[in-house]
Amino acid sequence: MRGGARPSSSLLLLSLGLVLLYFTSGSTVRLVEGQQKTWCIAKPSASNEILAQNLNYACSQVSCAVIQKGGPCYYPDSLVSRAAVAMNLYYAYSGRHAWNCYFNNSALVVQSDPSYGSCTYY
């Protein structure tokens, strides 16, 4: 090769991969640690069928005692309210990653604490 040796394309791909790995691991973790706390809530437009599925799934993964009768998040006695609490419990338990608040596109990540009365969203 004229003008000096050129790096092979596999070396370029490896270098690009390492740069991408740096930006998607360590630097992202530092940014997330500095971000405001977030919560996962049900979209107001979500259907009752989807909310019931979300509630059942979340409560199969985490304890939903707070939404049981007598629990601090039992009232208001509505599917959307209970599903939102359960979805947030799952989201918090799973590490507060956006993908843990997807729920078939029926949930939102919010930066405003949705806690009310004696019901604390963690």
Question: What would the pLDDT profile of 5-48 be if each residue is shown by its tens digit?
Answer: 554 544 444 444 433 333 333 333 333 455 689 999 999 999 99
Is pLDDT larger for residue 4 or for residue 89? 89
Q: Please tell me the distance from the alpha carbon of residue 56 to that of residue 98, in angstroms, as a whole number.
A: 20
Q: At what angle do helices 26-34 and 9-24 cross, to 10 degrees?
A: 20
Q: Model-level pTM?
A: 0.71
**Residue 75: what residue type?**
Y
The single residue listed with the structure tokens 């979209």 is 43
CB–CB of 91/40 below 8 Å?
Answer: yes
Question: What would the pLDDT profile of 46-71 be if each residue is shown by its tens digit?
Answer: 999 999 999 999 999 999 999 999 99
Predicted pLDDT of residue 26: 39
